Structure 1
Amino acid sequence: MNLNRLRPLWLLAGGLLLPACAPQYSSDEVVDQASVYEMPPAAPDQAETPPPVVNTESYARLPENRFEDVRQAPLSTFAIDVDPASYSNVRRFLTQNHQLPPPEAVRLEELINYFHYDYPQPQRPEAPATLNAEVARCPWNPAHRLVLVGVQGREVAKAALPPANLVFLIDVSGSMSDENKLPLLKASLRELVRELRPQDYVSMVVYAGAAGLVLPPTSGSRPAEILAALDNLEAGGSTAGGEGLRLAYQVARQQARPGTTTRIVLATDGDFNVGESSDEAMEQLVTQERQSGVFLSVLGFGQGNLQDSKMEVLADKGNGNYAYIDNLNEGRRVLVQQFGGTLFTLAKDVKVQVEFNPAQVQHYRLLGYENRLLAAEAFNDDTKDAGEMGAGQQVTALYEIVPTNARPAVDPLKYQTTAPGYTPAPSSAELLTVKLRYQEPQGSPSRLISLPVSGTDSGIEQASDNLRFAAAVAQFGMLLRQSSYRGTASYEAALRLAESGQNRDADGSRREFAELVRRAAELGATAQREPTADGQRY
């Protein structure tokens, strides 16, 4: 679900795959709760100051994936359900708060998938996506290998995009009054209104103590009415998120038409403090409603009470995306440049499974995706819910693997065999096989795309821009997350890799990333010199 982030709403442009020395693979070539982060309090003023604002931002504490023994766990399976929220939230900490983010706010897969990569488009008309892979030496542990797995959804022309039935559910409670909340939301939605077509319809539901419909379904051919309703929004009152959610679903169902994409877009700081009896009840409502074809996406705003984990769960339950808007450029990126991908579903319940060859691989580790992991048997289970692939969308994953000729992570056992009953398959030069399973949007028996991948001893310098830049982002994320597996990773090494792969940077996001790496390095050095009073640096 992230994913191709650089297209206008109706424009889905392709890219050229840059040549590289390291081997790259594509399926078109193959037949067939939460912890609470408390910001450091500001230094007290000599003058009388108001009571301090309590910071209640919350993030799910997810232990990072460990290395798995291929002889005991040869299969790695995950859903392609990726949101971009973590990257823009990390950017907010570095550029607006001038501090390193809390480690639990850093989700590696969301950092990696914030960026666009150059993967080929499907050549076969029946294929909704291509499956791609590449291998090189791991930059933070050269004895290991780094494997990139990339999925590219088919791009769809403007004329083929279905009409949109959008219901914006807007939090106008008192906590949304800050400039980086409701005012930023209104400015971002104005960008979207300019791109609406006559066949698109927009409704607005607000909630704050009570919920109400402030804009009935209105055609994109009447932008003045939509903008007038938007301009009249003001923040005030407590938050009754559950009541507003039920009204939004009612409006969405009433306006739903055959052949139309119906989606609720919830915009909030996540402070649901009144209304629905529990988070579980709200999640159950979202899960039930998605069966009717009404999906839910979530936009997060502001700081101080950002309920990151709650908003991510709601989007996941609603078959939607979760994005964090930290500035107007990000609002434009999410609501205009990327929004087309959410209006056309190429495939549903999309899952990836990687099988590792024990003759070539000892251990492997999936970077990120900790809350997207699936049991191996779920891959072939068509009743198991997974992510949706939208038009032109991409998903990128990285694996760090330990080859059989590298030093083992654990010494052989003395009193028993390491893996009783293990029988290797006939010798093969293949390192692994990547499989993608998906269903048609309207539902069908799942279909399979597979891609065998061979190993290489090529250095990261010979890899494509795709792998070099993804490796740079991974190093950055592991350092921010204080990963136990970061090896020799450093901000300087991440910066070198990032700047070696800026050949295609149409929107400047890669140049911005390099600046974030420099900023994190400076903040990290300062934190080492000046720990806080209780010894905690974050």
Structure 2
Amino acid sequence: MKKFLVIIMMFAALTGFKRGTTHTISGTVYSADDKLPIPGVTVLLKGTSTGTQTNAKGSYSITVPDGSATLIFNFIGFQPQYINIGSKTKIDVYLKAASSALNEVVVTAYGIQRRKDVTGSVAQVKSSQMIRGLVSGVAVNGAPGAAREVKIRGISSYGYLAPAPAEDNESYKGITENSFTNAASTPLSTFSVDVDAASYSNVRRFINNGQLPPADAVRVEEMINYFIYNLAGPTDNSPVAIHTELSSAPWNTKHRLLRIGLKAKTIATKNLPASNLVFLIDVSGSMSSANKLPLVQSSLKMLVDQLRPQDKVALVVYAGAAGVVLPSTGGDKKETIKNAIDNLSAGGSTAGGEGIKLAYKIATANFIKTGNNRIILATDGDFNVGASSDDDMEKLIEKKRESGIFLSVLGYGMGNYKDSKMETLADKGNGNYAYIDNITEARKTLVSEFGGTLFTVAKDVKLQIEFNPAKVQAYRLLGYENRILNKEDFNDDKKDAGDMGSGHTVTAFYEIVPAGIKDDYMVSVDPLKYQKNEVKVAASGSSEMMTIKFRYKEPVSSVSKMSQAVVYDKPVDFKLTSTDFKFASAVAEVGMLLRDSKFKQKASFAHAIATARAGKGDDSEGYRSEFIRLAESAKLLSKGTELAKVSDDE
């Protein structure tokens, strides 16, 4: 009998220590209405904090324990769906649209706030801290990690709270929208070409977290230029080709919409010049959260994988002071570089100015005369020691850019995010600026668009358009408010302007009031007293509407070159425009709506969404489908009128 009891006890002990097994489930989440994939869907293992999100193509992958378990699929504007896993390894889900719109009040980690007062956002962080609820990215009152039920118009969903950021102190440079300009009195429009796309991914972060972005966070040109457009590259020795397309403006059919498209030549990676890179990483205390330094580390390691033996990388960090973590190291020493990145940790104050000075010193010491010399700054922009104001940073960078070293900025995080400072740094440092809100965005910026992000083929790129007053009564440039130049700056080679990288595309839109159209945007002023101010518009039999002049410098040259193109007054029907024209105009329309532009006229989310669908095209990467979903979410967020109700009942 004793032996029998011993055997039973041994069996119980062994089974008690049996290790649980897991398996991975993957699939795609679609809309039940149109069968399109939905990016950004929260996938949560019920009763746990284990979760993930769908990528740009609507796909997900999650590891779960064997046995009885349930996955919860949530996304803004859709009914949550609960699916028992069983032994399945592949689960495709079709979400049904919720019957009610979202509310005027958003439930956030800060408490209940009216949407118009919300300027911050709940962070998008690693799966163990992910925000759960009916609306993807919405947290409710209570301690982080506590379960709560979110009720919006009677629809409820269980969720887990994400920790709230320590502060809500984001900063954005104020934007005064371009207005309509009289072509007779001011026929020239001049601006610096810009290829940054940070605003789009930042706007996406707000919307995915259940909030509309602050108006000044929406830079229309950056939203448009987030996407790749199908333009032909130059056929001659020029680094950039110019394309134009003219049709009616979707939000006012009496007006015309001109698209100017630029396409930089594409250089194969193996033929790109050697790179001298300095990773300048903010490791101050403000970078400690999961969507900051850990995401920086993952991002830069993906970039390291793209390096060649002829490339070299140094690693500089700054917190209360700046220091060199890794001296310039060959690109074939990937393990060494990655280990240095992995060993970083956050803490202390933020001496950003000192870090930038040291990074330029290291880059200068390892300068490659005919190569790509670039500093890549990864930060939330919250500098608070030494040179820290926007003006301080601007003066510092302007002194350093003459060295031939470019500065690119990768922005991370939220709550204390300083968009205004980072836009200034990239602009004045002859570099580009991207906002990295998740690992998918990091892959897009540092892997898919590696050449365009890091290798400049044309610098100080400027456009100057001369409008023919006989054909154009007035015009308005959509976006680029921070890139406007004086007319005399166009021929001034000392005037800094934007840069274009290998394979990059740039799109700019002009809204045009044709001659002879009666329009509310044409304002009159009293005649001048001391001089004649009458501008006579000569009747012209020419069908030329405008001339576009394009000026640029080769990457190692200080002397610019110029080319030009003529646009004729021959608009095509909007239905016959290219898919790129339709899609880009839809992005512009949504941008105006998010800014609540006084020039939005008859723009609407419904019209923009329909136009974007018509212009979706091939969309192999899924980014256009993602935009359509964001526009649908923004439409719901803009319509809410009732208060959100939070229940503490479990």
Question: Which TM bucket (shorter chain)?
Answer: 0.7 to 0.9
Alpha-carbon offset, residue 137 of structure 1: 0.8
Q: Distance in 1 between matches of 2:643 and 2:595?
A: 19
* Pairing partner for 1:118 from 225, 230, 245: 230
* 1:466-497 deviation line (CA, Å, top 9, x unaligned): 21011100011000010001111111111111
Relative to structure 2, which stretch is displaced further, 303-312 or 202-211?
Answer: 202-211
Report if the CA contact (8 A) 1:162-1:343 is conserved: no
Q: Is the 8 A contact 1:165 1:263 kept in 2?
A: yes
Q: Partner of 1:236 in structure 2?
A: 347
Question: Which amino acid in structure 2 is aligned with residue 178 of structure 1?
Answer: S
Conservation of the 8 A alpha-carbon contact between 2:291 and 2:413: yes
- How far does residue 448 in structure 1 lie from its aligned partner after superposition? 1.7
Q: Distance in 1 between matches of 2:356 and 2:515?
A: 53
| Superposed CA offset, 1:157-212 (max 9, x none) | 22320011110111111111111101111111121111111011111111111211
* Mapped partners of 1:501, 1:277: distance in 2: 43
**Secondary structure of the equivalent of 2:306?**
coil
Q: Which amino acid aligns with 2:469?
A: P
Provide the residue aligned with 1:215 in structure 2: 326
- 1:165 and 1:260 in contact (8 A); partners too: yes
1:39 paired with 2:120, answer yes
| Corresponding position of 1:100 | 212
How far residue 243 of structure 1 moved from its aligned partner, in angstroms, is 1.5
Asked if 1:289 is matched to 2:433, the reply is: no
Pair 1:374-2:455 in alignment? no
TM superposition shift of 1:444: 4.8
Structure 2: distance between partners of 1:263 and 1:46: 43
Match of 2:167 among 36, 44, 54: 54
Q: 1:525 and 2:639 equivalent?
A: yes
Maintained 8 Å contact 2:409/2:425: yes
The aligned length equals: 495
What residue identity is the alignment partner of 1:85? A
Distance (Å, rounded) in 2 between the aligned partners of 1:349 and 1:489? 34
Q: Judging changes above 3 Å, is the alpha-carbon distance between structure 1 residues 411 and 388 closer, same or farther for their aligned structure 2 residues? A: closer
> Quick one: which of 590, 596, 610 aligns to 1:476?
590
Distance, in Å, in 1 between the alignment partners of 2:449 and 2:352 is: 26
Unaligned stretches of 5+ in structure 2? Answer: 1-55, 57-116, 123-138, 147-160, 646-650
Query: Matched residues in 2 for 1:45 and 1:159: separation?
Result: 53
SS of alignment partner, residue 505 of structure 1: coil
Counterpart AA for 2:178: N
Residue matched to 1:396: 507
Shift of the alpha carbon at 1:38? 3.7
1:3 paired residue number? none
Confirm or deny: 8 A CA contact 1:148 1:467 kept in the other structure. Answer: yes
Partner residue, 2:462: 351
Residues 37 and 55 of structure 1 are in contact (CA less than 8 Å); yes or no, is this contact kept in structure 2? Answer: no
1 CA distance for matches of 2:143 and 2:232? Answer: 61
CA distance in 2, matches of 1:492, 1:510: 16
2:35 maps to what in 1? Answer: none
**1:531: how far off?**
10
Task: Give the SS at the match of 1:287.
Answer: helix
Q: 2:259 aligned with 1:148, yes or no? A: yes
Letter in 1 for 2:223: L
- For residues 20-35 of structure 1, the aligned pairs below 5 Å read none
| Gap change, CA 1:72 and 1:186, over 3 Å in 2 | same
1:509 aligns with 623
CA–CA separation in structure 1 for the residues paired with 2:143 and 2:287: 29
Unaligned runs of 5+ in 1: 1-5, 7-35, 533-538
Q: Aligned-pair distance for 1:46?
A: 9.1
Cα pair 1:149 1:396 within 8 Å, conserved: yes
Contact 2:390 2:424 in 1 (8 A): no
The structure whose Rg is larger is: 2
CA contact 1:77–1:376 (8 Å) conserved in 2: yes
Q: Matched residue of 2:489: which SS?
A: helix
The separation in 2 between residues aligned to 1:522 and 1:490, in whole angstroms, is: 12
Aligned residue among 540, 546, 550 for 1:432: 546
* Alpha-carbon contact 2:195-2:499 (below 8 Å) kept: no
SS in 2 for 1:383: coil
C-alpha deviation, 1:43, in angstroms: 6.4
- Counterpart-to-counterpart distance in 2, 1:186 and 1:46: 29
What amino acid is the match of 1:169? L
Instruction: Report the CA distance between 1:90 and its aligned residue.
Output: 0.2
Give the aligned partner of residue 26 of structure 1.
Answer: none
Q: Which residue of 2 aligns with 1:84?
A: 197
Matched, 1:305 2:416: yes
- Aligned twin of 1:32: none
1:114 positional shift: 0.4
Q: What is the rounded CA distance, in whole Å, between the counterparts of 2:614 and 2:499 in structure 1?
A: 32
After superposition, what is the alpha-carbon deviation per residue over 1:26-62, rounded to whole angstroms, capped at 9, x for unaligned? xxxxxxxxxx974389865499999983311001111
**Native 8 Å contact 2:120 2:169 kept in 1:** no
Aligned equivalents of 1:361, 1:373: Cα separation in 2: 20
| Distance in 2 (alpha carbons) for counterparts of 1:408 and 1:186 | 53
Q: Which amino acid aligns with 2:368?
A: R
Deviation at 1:440, TM superposition (A): 2.3
Equivalent pair of 2:191/2:462 in contact (CA under 8 Å): yes
The correspondence for 1:316, drawn from 399, 420, 427, is: 427
The AA in structure 1 aligned to 2:582 is R
* 2:193–2:499 contact (8 Å) kept in structure 1: yes
Q: Is the 8 A contact 2:390 2:420 kept in 1?
A: no
Deviation at 1:156, TM superposition (A): 1.1
**Which has the bigger relative contact order, CA under 8 A and spacing at least 6?**
1
Distance in 2 (CA, whole Å) between partners of 1:51 and 1:93 is 15
Q: Percent identity?
A: 51
1:175 counterpart (283, 286, 290): 286
CA contact (8 A) 2:240 2:264 kept: yes
Does the residue aligned with 1:214 lie in a helix, a strand or coil?
Answer: strand
CA distance in 1, matches of 2:164, 2:554: 55
Alignment-mate amino acid for residue 519 of structure 1 = S
Which stretch has the larger CA shift, 471-480 or 282-291? 282-291
* Distance in 1 (alpha carbons) for counterparts of 2:253 and 2:642: 30
Deviations 1:94-124 (A, max 9, x none): 11x2111011100000000001111111111
Over residues 70-94 of structure 1, what are the superposed CA-to-partner deviations in whole Å (9 max), with x where a residue is unaligned? 0111111100123110000000001
Closer/same/farther in 2, CA of residues 531 and 401 from structure 1, 3 Å limit: farther
Distance 1:290 1:444, change over 3 A: closer
Helix, strand or coil: the match of 1:485?
coil
**Secondary structure at the counterpart of residue 64 of structure 1:** coil
SS at match of 1:273: coil
Is the 8 Å Cα contact of residues 379 and 437 (structure 1) preserved in structure 2? yes
Residue type at the aligned position of 2:408: S
Distance 1:94 1:159, change over 3 A: same
One-letter code aligned to 1:80: V
Offset of residue 410 of structure 1 = 6.0
Specify the alignment match of 1:335 in structure 2.
Answer: 446
Contact 1:191 1:336 (8 Å CA) reproduced? yes
Task: Report the AA paired with residue 199 of structure 2.
Answer: S
Equivalent-residue separation in structure 1 for 2:536 and 2:179 (angstroms):
22
Deviation at 1:419, TM superposition (A): 5.2
Q: Which residue, 357, 373, 388 being the options, matches 1:262?
A: 373
- Secondary structure, aligned partner of 1:59: coil
